[in-house]
Structure 1
């Protein structure tokens, strides 16, 4: 193999694919990136056996071929080369190393045969549709923070994507929950998505998709089967296994009859919670919300260091209520709200609370209270 291309083009592609590769691998070939050149293109591929990313970049191919080299090593080398450099990749005559040349720099990386590189066989995708990168990012950004990190409940370790029937037509919905909070966001269902199986996209895959969506106006092709999802944007193709599990019936935890309504300025609320929670400990992040007509008092008490209170003027006309929440969870949700006014709906101090943008129906958040 002998191929020459722009350093910036190679670096951009390596940035996309090398992130999939785990730093520590018991299987040596999984530490490598596959390089295959032919027909004026260099194709790069990396995998961890659950997730695979492939990118194609234009290149001057003098001798087609394929090999694999350590992914993080070649990424670091190309990253440190001078901007604007032409990079030449050539396999040695004894087929033991890949020689990398740029200006006066030369590196020789140990290779492993491309025949050892695993292929994440995709199979048939029954549902194919397109969305803009902006819509996908919105669904991910609105729900990603609520993904569970508890490995025992593996079916909560991702975002649940499915279609539902709504009053205004079919909706494409994303849901994530960790048992303490739930995030739901939706958009009108794109053509081709109706009837798709509900799928759970793993946390790592969600993070990689997010990083690949660089142009908000780009059209993104999504293909879904029972076991895999494939995302294509530009020259990048991401294929991932789905979580093999059943997502819980989340509709049962979304409160329908919370009759105590609080409306508060989103930024004022977020900043006040952030200020009073400064005094909280790592173990106890509880903040108490004491509500009375037109008034909200936030209180944090830390037996080891002291206490903090802050009062806000709010729109609240129901009976007085005291309820506690994890301050970190409140801040996570407040960061996702889009409008200037946040709406909270309460039932009682022990029941889940519903949080939404004022008047918005396309995203909602449910937060379980804490004892304070």
Structure 2
């Protein structure tokens, strides 16, 4: 068997496949990529899995010989192709080796192969009844919220994104929280009421990241929740990930409906000032203090730190004079992920959560718990 492929297309496919392959697996086959050569289709299929997630993509290939399948080390294959100097790659199967070379054999590499029967079988999924959604919309839902997901493995239910179909409104909602902050984004999606999405589910951070990457350049993707798996069909293949079991907390109960105080401020000026003030804070959780008055906000580092910062900014504030502290990292991450020129921060008191929104960030809200110092 011999196949000729475009190097850039193969590299792109292998990068995606390597994102799913399990590099630290106790089972060697889970670090492998399954290669399926289909001469009649003029296509090479590449499959990887870590048993929680699975990926199958395809790339055009001029194939001579019969249908053939075998496994190769995914990361090693990728490293060879990534640095391959020619635009076309030739793959040849000889005995128990995969030969990777250029047309004139100036470059030649060999990889040992494993029988394809060793590779685990993947669940079967079909495209029928899946939700058709613009790729950029799915990517936005994920990337606008995932930064708030918990990194604490013990809080596994909060370690991903909760996707909730609000069928009566035609809205798909993404929510992520680590217990100290919460990010929420709503996006209208056509056809939601007739799709297979009927209830909310939690996608792991790793799985959500992969879906965002795969969807970003796609005009339309097909997306669904099937038998405890989330599945995504895109133009060159499909990806699936097992959902996180458990119930996502009642996030609605923690979002206040009324606020006594309201701050309006230029987002970029606020963001840059918070970054500068946080640079001098040595404490692990980076507490930053905001003192609010009718015409300005003072951003300062906590008293008692070895270094000090105090930055005053003009702002529009309605309410009683107030001093409140936040984790600077959490505040900065929200402002960095927003697009609005001006943001609105609603607050009740120094012990209640603040709600951050922006005119250009339609459907988005960020809830941040204060720090008590």
Residue 114 of structure 2 is matched in structure 1 by 112
The answer for unaligned runs of 5 or more in structure 1 is none
Q: In the aligned structure 1, how far is the partner of 2:212 from the partner of 2:167?
A: 26
- Contact persistence 1:67–1:112 (CA under 8 A): yes
- Contact persistence 1:172–1:190 (CA under 8 A): no
Query: For each residue in 1:101-135, what CA deviation from the matched residue of structure 2 results, as whole angstroms up to 9, or x when unmatched?
Result: 22312111111111111122145788511111111
Q: How many Å apart are 1:195 and its aligned residue?
A: 5.5
Query: For each residue in 1:40-70, what CA deviation from the matched residue of structure 2 results, as whole angstroms up to 9, or x when unmatched?
Result: 1100011111111111111111122000000
The secondary structure found in structure 2 opposite 1:5 is strand
Residue 27 of structure 2 is matched in structure 1 by 27
- Contact persistence 1:279–1:301 (CA under 8 A): no
Residue 178 of structure 1 is matched in structure 2 by 178
Aligned residue runs from structure 1 range 37-48, under 5 A: 37-38=37-38, 39=40, 40-48=42-50
Query: Is 2:306 the partner of 1:343?
Result: no
Query: Is 2:75 the partner of 1:72?
Result: yes
Residue 289 of structure 2 is matched in structure 1 by 288
Q: In the aligned structure 1, how far is the partner of 2:326 from the partner of 2:227?
A: 37
Q: In the aligned structure 2, how far is the partner of 1:13 from the partner of 1:308?
A: 48
Query: For each residue in 1:148-188, what CA deviation from the matched residue of structure 2 results, as whole angstroms up to 9, or x when unmatched?
Result: 1111111111111112267xx33110000000000000111
Query: Is 2:269 the partner of 1:261?
Result: no
Q: In the aligned structure 1, how far is the partner of 2:334 from the partner of 2:242?
A: 29
The verdict on how the C-alpha distance between 1:282 and 1:59 changes in structure 2, with shifts beyond 3 A counting, is farther
Query: Is 2:11 the partner of 1:8?
Result: no
Q: In the aligned structure 2, how far is the partner of 1:302 from the partner of 1:226?
A: 53
Q: How many Å apart are 1:10 and its aligned residue?
A: 1.2
Q: How many Å apart are 1:359 and its aligned residue?
A: 7.5
Q: In the aligned structure 1, how far is the partner of 2:69 from the partner of 2:200?
A: 38
Q: How many Å apart are 1:301 and its aligned residue?
A: 2.9
- Contact persistence 2:296–2:312 (CA under 8 A): yes
Residue 99 of structure 1 is matched in structure 2 by 99
The secondary structure found in structure 1 opposite 2:339 is coil
The verdict on how the C-alpha distance between 1:83 and 1:304 changes in structure 2, with shifts beyond 3 A counting, is farther
Residue 144 of structure 2 is matched in structure 1 by 142
Across the aligned residues of Structure 1 and Structure 2, the Cα RMSD in angstroms comes to 1.8
Residue 204 of structure 1 is matched in structure 2 by 206
- Contact persistence 2:224–2:231 (CA under 8 A): yes
- Contact persistence 2:197–2:225 (CA under 8 A): no
Q: How many Å apart are 1:193 and its aligned residue?
A: 4.1
Query: Is 2:348 the partner of 1:363?
Result: no
Q: In the aligned structure 1, how far is the partner of 2:303 from the partner of 2:45?
A: 56
- Contact persistence 1:52–1:120 (CA under 8 A): yes
Q: In the aligned structure 2, how far is the partner of 1:342 from the partner of 1:203?
A: 27
Q: In the aligned structure 2, how far is the partner of 1:270 from the partner of 1:249?
A: 30
- Contact persistence 1:90–1:100 (CA under 8 A): yes
Query: For each residue in 1:197-249, what CA deviation from the matched residue of structure 2 results, as whole angstroms up to 9, or x when unmatched?
Result: 2111111011111222342x611111222401111121031111111111111
The secondary structure found in structure 1 opposite 2:185 is strand
Query: For each residue in 1:283-317, what CA deviation from the matched residue of structure 2 results, as whole angstroms up to 9, or x when unmatched?
Result: 14000001111111111037453110101111112
- Contact persistence 2:22–2:49 (CA under 8 A): no
The answer for unaligned runs of 5 or more in structure 2 is none
Q: In the aligned structure 2, how far is the partner of 1:220 from the partner of 1:99?
A: 35
Number of residue equivalences: 366
The secondary structure found in structure 2 opposite 1:135 is helix
The secondary structure found in structure 1 opposite 2:122 is coil
Residue 166 of structure 2 is matched in structure 1 by 164
